Structure 1
Amino acid sequence: MKYFTLNLRGTIFVVEEDFIHDYELKTNSPLAQLNESSKYYNKDRDEFYFNRSSSMFDAVLDYLATGSLHIPGNICAERFQKELEFWGIPTYKLEKCCWRSFYGSAEDVATLDKLLCHIPCESLRTNGTIQLPERSESGCSKSNVYRILTDNTTNSGKVWYGIMCVTILLSTFLFVVMTVPAFRVPVDTTKSYPYSVTSNTALMYYITRPHYAVVAIDTACNVIFMVDWLVRFFCAPSKLAFIRSFLTCVELISWVFQWIGLWMELQRELFAVEGIYPVLFIITLIYCLRVLRIFRLLNNNVGFKILLLSLKSSARELFLLTVGFSCVAVVFALLLYMAEMGTDTDVTLPNVFVSIWWAVVTMTTVGYGDYYPTTAQGYCIGCLCALTGILLIALPMAVTSSNFSDYYTFNKYRERYMKTVEKTENSD
């Protein structure tokens, strides 16, 4: 019987010829070409030398002997996959008991790659989709000004970031304060309320205006926002990428419509006409976008980026949740509507659309109590609806929480790696 001597980094394996050829291997496998013409054959020692891991090759021999492929302990799954490719053994031969360690490692690597794609390890920061330019020797160059306004890792950038944080918080607080009657002053007007709206809140906005001090401070904040946006626009290395950023568009709309709102307050008599209320309502809705400036404070926050990345990775599960929730809500709405059709009370469901509203607030465990069942069959449907809602919401949320936990854990590894690199560079 003929034997082959295989040398793997000094570890000798002696195998029978029939032992290897009993299994079908890929044509490019070195084990399928064990002859004197092989590039791995050492004529002087009459052996085949491979500069490969002997511990992993032992798993290969174990597969050839038993027909069962297993991952050795303390072995990197990605490295083991490369070894299988080299020896010409297909990965689908792997036994089910090793699936978790083999495919789980691949999932971890994919998750880590996705994290590093959104939050890279390099010290160079990015703002949205805009790559920061290289540092220039000139202190007043456009690149340095843009870096100060967008990068909060430098001393000057931290100072400006602090100013913007205070300004955004103050502007948001003033916007909230403007809705409180105590911070508004009455307006002398002899005209009657011109709009066909009976809301007391809308009437308050017509007969009062914000206090002058509130308007003055809010205007000063808007000047800062406008100057900051314009300077960043003119100093941006790519104006197209700057304009395409979501937060940039929100800031532009915010300070532009804030000036429009101030002009409307000063020219109030121009809008005291019948029929213009829908226009004012639309302008007010757009004006409310100013509260989205608060997300600029979280733009460079790693935790917030991880949260968004977790939601993005769970998009499929969230989509299934939305579709399933909608279908179940419609089913329970129709069931309750039919079950309660014979009753006539103040809380009777007038139509299926109201029934869907009831199903949504019941499945989300909100339960406003504006509509509810009053019959025995309605009580049963309501119980089933609430229990189904809890199950539907709980199961996909577990996946989202798991994704967030994975990204949060891997981000800790990324930070440890960055600290190691930084420590090494400082020591050099």
Structure 2
Amino acid sequence: IHGSGERGSAASAPSMLNINVGGKSYRLTYQAVAVYPKTRLGRLATSTDRSRQLGLCDDYAVQGDEYFFDRDPAVFQLVYNFYASGVLQVRDEQCPLSFLEELSYWGVRLKYTPRCCRICFEERRDELSEQLKVQRELRRWRLWNLMEKPFSSVSAKAMGVASSLFVLISVVALALNTMEEMQQVDRRSGESRPMLEHVETLCIAFFTLEYLLRLVSTPDLRRFASSPLNAVDLIAILPLYLQLLLDKVGQVLRIMRLMRIFRILKLARHSTGLRAFGFTLRQCYQQVGCLLLFIAMGIFAFSAMVYSVEHDVSSTNFTSIPHAWWWAVSISTVGYGDMCPETHLGCLFAFLCIAFGIILNGMPISILYNKFSDYYSKLKAYEYTAVRKERSKINFTRRARKKMSKCCGEGPTHYLPSCFSYSHSPDKPVITWPVNSHFKNHIQSTKAGIRENSALGKFVFWCSLPPTAT
């Protein structure tokens, strides 16, 4: 095997393989490379198909019979030495992941490295993988807090405000697009299109991005899929995409457009009152179900009564019991006036219907109000606690050192109280004290700086006192 550090060598003999990696030229014998036929250079040396050879390299120079590879020359130097000695060396300064990527490209396996080097390399690779995993988790949690916890940071609060603004803009645009004055005629097709259609599309794009960011950052995918708020977000963005797919299906398209109204429910993510109202309905579903049942029974009963006394009157609107159902909506004390009884008995039934509705609607008010007030207070307390927690983050190390300095002093000859014991490890001094010590009250017990040993009944705290302290 012959190596050359110069670029552009003279014409080589047919037994030599000329390669250029990252601008640096190398010469290898076909026999040495063919010993490892599963590697990239081994396949290049043993192949007789010119098209396959050209597929294994990035470029080829006919004049010098040289194969070009746009790869890292520093790593290939180790690969080059591997063909010479049969041993693959590993350098400590190289990135483990980048080194493995290069080895995968050249088809050289890590098993050719010495055992001692391979153990050290695998330890560095595992350590780097753990660090990258921790960094990915931190980025995911930051993104999740940005999207789900508006009080965790200023940027998260700005994201919540922006989301609410987009919801309001989309709802206003949806309402204005139904006005005749906000329609414009397309010159090509002659069809009328809403003027604010692009505004709705922009809002849907923002909602889609918001939903995808929540989806990729969620810590629990199953819980995310079963969340009612996330279902509302999905329903808010589906109509536009279904409209694009079902543009020629008229009735389905109208239903899809109607679903756009659910965008207003996205405000529940940023409204404590709306969330408390949703929790109230979910917990009081039995009471709400009974209320709906009583309303349905009243509607059926009073509509049949009014129909029986009004259907013989000329020009009456009570032509059937189903038509009388619409009149019976007055059970909720809301009368539209388009249908009204004309006979005295019909007016009596109408009075009884309205009185029954007043009594019926007043029954569950106290239950629903108490539940709503309870949930609203709990949600507000939770949000207040979250805000205080975020605002009360402090530098524990600085405060703890300040407390230690006030209590114990800083000089090497300062003596600790009799209830304290001092030891010094190779990397840090350690001061221990009983749990019931008065000094415990001066130090905040947090996971970052202090850990409690339940077996010894002591706290362990690392400080910057000199090793000579007693």
TM-score band, normalised by the shorter chain? Answer: 0.5 to 0.7
Report which structure shows greater RCO (CA 8 Å, sep ≥6). 1
Distance 2:383 2:199 in 1: 40
Distance 1:231 1:423 in 2: 25
SS at match of 2:193: strand
Cα deviation per residue 1:307-340 (whole Å; 9 max; x = unaligned)?
2233333322222221122112211111111112
Deviation at 1:292, TM superposition (A): 2.1
Equivalent AA in structure 1 for residue 143 of structure 2 = V
Deviation at 1:138, TM superposition (A): 6.2
Length, aligned pairs only: 263
Deviation at 1:398, TM superposition (A): 2.8
Distance 2:156 2:391 in 1: 23
- Give TM-score scaled by structure 1 length: 0.53
Partner of 1:76: none
Partner of 1:268: none
Distance 2:254 2:134 in 1: 43
Cα deviation per residue 1:6-60 (whole Å; 9 max; x = unaligned)?
xxxxxxxxxxxxxxxxxxxxxxxxxxxxxxxxxxxxxxxxxxxxxxxxxxxxxxx
Partner of 2:165: 166
Q: Does 1:147 align with 2:145?
A: yes
Partner of 2:330: 362
Partner of 2:272: 302
What are the residue-to-residue correspondences of 1:3-402 with 2, within 5 Å?
Answer: 141-153=139-151, 154-188=153-187, 207-211=191-195, 214-261=196-243, 271=248, 279-345=249-315, 347-359=316-328, 361-402=329-370
Distance 1:236 1:420 in 2: 24
Deviation at 1:281, TM superposition (A): 2.7
Partner of 1:20: none
Consecutive unaligned residues in structure 1, runs of 5 or more: 1-134, 191-205, 266-270, 272-278
Distance 1:142 1:411 in 2: 25
Q: Call closer, same or farther: CA 1:405–1:218 in 2, change over 3 Å.
A: closer
Contact 1:136/1:143, CA 8 A, preserved across alignment: no
Contact 1:333/1:352, CA 8 A, preserved across alignment: yes
Equivalent AA in structure 2 for residue 331 of structure 1 = A
Contact 1:254/1:287, CA 8 A, preserved across alignment: no
Distance 1:416 1:233 in 2: 26
Moved more, 404-413 or 154-163: 404-413
Distance 1:378 1:247 in 2: 46
Deviation at 1:209, TM superposition (A): 0.8
Q: Call closer, same or farther: CA 1:136–1:394 in 2, change over 3 Å.
A: farther
Q: CA RMSD in A?
A: 3.5
Contact 1:167/1:221, CA 8 A, preserved across alignment: yes
Cα deviation per residue 1:103-140 (whole Å; 9 max; x = unaligned)?
xxxxxxxxxxxxxxxxxxxxxxxxxxxxxxxx965697
SS at match of 1:282: helix
Deviation at 1:349, TM superposition (A): 0.7
Cα deviation per residue 1:370-398 (whole Å; 9 max; x = unaligned)?
22111111111111111111111112223
Contact 2:164/2:270, CA 8 A, preserved across alignment: no
Q: Call closer, same or farther: CA 1:401–1:376 in 2, change over 3 Å.
A: same
Contact 2:185/2:193, CA 8 A, preserved across alignment: yes
Consecutive unaligned residues in structure 2, runs of 5 or more: 1-132, 395-441, 445-470
- Give TM-score scaled by structure 2 length: 0.49
Q: Call closer, same or farther: CA 1:424–1:243 in 2, change over 3 Å.
A: closer
Deviation at 1:164, TM superposition (A): 1.7
Cα deviation per residue 1:210-249 (whole Å; 9 max; x = unaligned)?
22xx233333322222222223222323333323333334
Equivalent AA in structure 1 for residue 342 of structure 2 = T
SS at match of 1:344: coil
Distance 1:152 1:424 in 2: 16
Q: Call closer, same or farther: CA 1:150–1:331 in 2, change over 3 Å.
A: same
Partner of 2:465: none
Distance 2:236 2:378 in 1: 36
SS at match of 2:303: helix
Equivalent AA in structure 2 for residue 405 of structure 1 = S
SS at match of 1:292: helix
Contact 1:251/1:290, CA 8 A, preserved across alignment: no
Distance 1:255 1:160 in 2: 18
SS at match of 2:365: helix
Deviation at 1:183, TM superposition (A): 1.8
- What percentage of residue pairs aligned between the two structures are identical? 22
SS at match of 1:367: coil
Deviation at 1:419, TM superposition (A): 8.8
Distance 1:140 1:209 in 2: 46
SS at match of 1:141: helix
Deviation at 1:299, TM superposition (A): 1.7
Equivalent AA in structure 2 for residue 381 of structure 1 = F
Deviation at 1:288, TM superposition (A): 3.1
Cα deviation per residue 1:189-228 (whole Å; 9 max; x = unaligned)?
78xxxxxxxxxxxxxxx841122xx233333322222222
Q: Call closer, same or farther: CA 1:399–1:146 in 2, change over 3 Å.
A: closer
Equivalent AA in structure 2 for residue 368 of structure 1 = Y
Contact 1:226/1:255, CA 8 A, preserved across alignment: yes
Q: Call closer, same or farther: CA 1:251–1:354 in 2, change over 3 Å.
A: same
Q: Call closer, same or farther: CA 1:369–1:264 in 2, change over 3 Å.
A: same
Equivalent AA in structure 2 for residue 247 of structure 1 = L
Distance 2:136 2:283 in 1: 42
Equivalent AA in structure 1 for residue 182 of structure 2 = F
Partner of 1:9: none
Equivalent AA in structure 2 for residue 236 of structure 1 = T
Distance 2:393 2:143 in 1: 27
SS at match of 2:314: coil
What are the residue-to-residue correspondences of 1:415-426 with 2, within 5 Å?
Answer: none
Partner of 1:109: none
